[in-house]
């Protein structure tokens, strides 16, 4: 593993961090018939990160048995944007088109257990034009892909870079031809897409071509998204 030069990010105040996240983040969450899991995720996300409810969009399906519980979730998070699914592909692309410059995807069975400062990955994407996305999920200890129950190798061409003034280390790699999780940018498990400027069209085309057909198929499954 190669050690690269430190990355310098200027420190800003907590109020400035809050404003930065509000101005630059759009969150898209997929949910189907799991209001309890969705509630738990939204509770963990809004309490353990500096995201504002107004930045969150939930695209959901709710069969008759789940309509009332879903309405209770909506009441508990009155500032979150909830959209009942009627055309998965067109709604996802509409959300992408109207999103801010940092777009992050989740599903209703995700969960935060430790505090996360979203300002850091956002400003790292601002500063590093060659980076396609930032993962809140992957780490150098992830050597097993649980969705297929198989071992996976850490990318051998990875580059480690320290965040100047902190003890944090970033790991950068080229995702092409890598094992399982390391070959899946923009998964629906906390991957932040860089959509600033001309990159928005590139990301939208990538999602439309490679992911929307798969997401659409998975979302129609009886249990929705499962990871």
| pLDDT of 223 strictly over 60 | no
Q: How far apart are CA 48 and CA 37, in angstroms?
A: 16
| pLDDT of 176 strictly over 90 | no
Structure tokens at 225: 């998204």
Give Cα 41 to chain centroid, integer Å: 13
Residue 173 lies in a domain: no
Beta carbons of 150 and 68 less than 8 angstroms apart: no
The kind and range of the H/E element at 194 are: strand 191-194
The model's pTM: 0.87
**Residue-wise pLDDT tens digits, 12-42:** 888 999 999 999 999 999 999 999 999 999 9
Residue 62 lies in a domain: yes
Residue 95 lies in a domain: yes
- As a whole number, mean pLDDT of residues 98-121 equals 93
Going by pLDDT thresholds of 50, 70 and 90, the confidence category of residue 89 is confident
Residue 151 lies in a domain: no
Residue 10 lies in a domain: no
Assign 110 to helix, strand or coil. coil
Going by pLDDT thresholds of 50, 70 and 90, the confidence category of residue 227 is very low
Say which CATH number the domain at 123 has. 3.90.550.10
- As a whole number, mean pLDDT of residues 124-140 equals 84
Residue 224 lies in a domain: no
- What range does the domain containing 200 cover? 16-141+188-219
Nearest to 133 by CA among 59, 184, 167, 209: 184
Given this model, what pLDDT does residue 73 score?
98
Residue 208 lies in a domain: yes
Residue 2 lies in a domain: no
Assign 181 to helix, strand or coil. helix
Given this model, what pLDDT does residue 120 score?
87
Going by pLDDT thresholds of 50, 70 and 90, the confidence category of residue 218 is low
**Residue-wise pLDDT tens digits, 35-77:** 999 999 999 999 999 999 999 999 999 999 999 999 999 999 9
Going by pLDDT thresholds of 50, 70 and 90, the confidence category of residue 170 is confident
More confident residue, 191 or 200: 191
More confident residue, 193 or 11: 193
Q: Scanning the structure block, which residue is given the tokens 């991957």?
A: 191
| pLDDT of 186 strictly over 60 | yes
Q: How many domains does the chain have?
A: 1
More confident residue, 218 or 46: 46
């Amino acid at each position: 593993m190669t050690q690269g030069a430190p990355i310098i990010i200027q420190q800003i105040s907590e109020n400035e961090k809050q404003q930065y996240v509000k101005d630059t983040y759009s969150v898209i969450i997929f949910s189907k018939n799991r209001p309890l899991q969705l509630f738990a995720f939204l509770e963990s996300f809004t309490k353990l990160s500096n995201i504002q409810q107004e930045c969150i969009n939930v695209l959901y399906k709710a069969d008759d048995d789940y309509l009332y519980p879903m309405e209770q979730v909506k009441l508990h998070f009155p500032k979150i944007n909830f959209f009942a699914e009627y055309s998965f592909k067109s709604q996802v692309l509409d959300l992408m088109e109207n999103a801010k410059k940092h777009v992050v995807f989740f599903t209703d069975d995700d969960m935060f257990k430790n505090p996360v400062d979203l300002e850091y990955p956002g400003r790292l994407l601002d500063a590093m034009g060659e980076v396609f996305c930032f993962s809140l999920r992957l780490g150098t200890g992830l050597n097993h892909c649980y969705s297929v129950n198989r071992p996976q190798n850490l990318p051998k061409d990875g580059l480690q870079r320290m965040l100047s003034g902190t003890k944090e280390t970033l790991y950068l790699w080229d995702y092409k031809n890598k094992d399982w999780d390391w070959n899946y940018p923009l998964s629906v498990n906390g991957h932040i897409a860089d959509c600033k400027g001309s990159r928005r069209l590139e990301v939208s085309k990538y999602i439309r071509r490679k992911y929307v057909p798969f997401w659409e198929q998975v979302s129609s499954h009886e249990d929705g998204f499962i990871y």
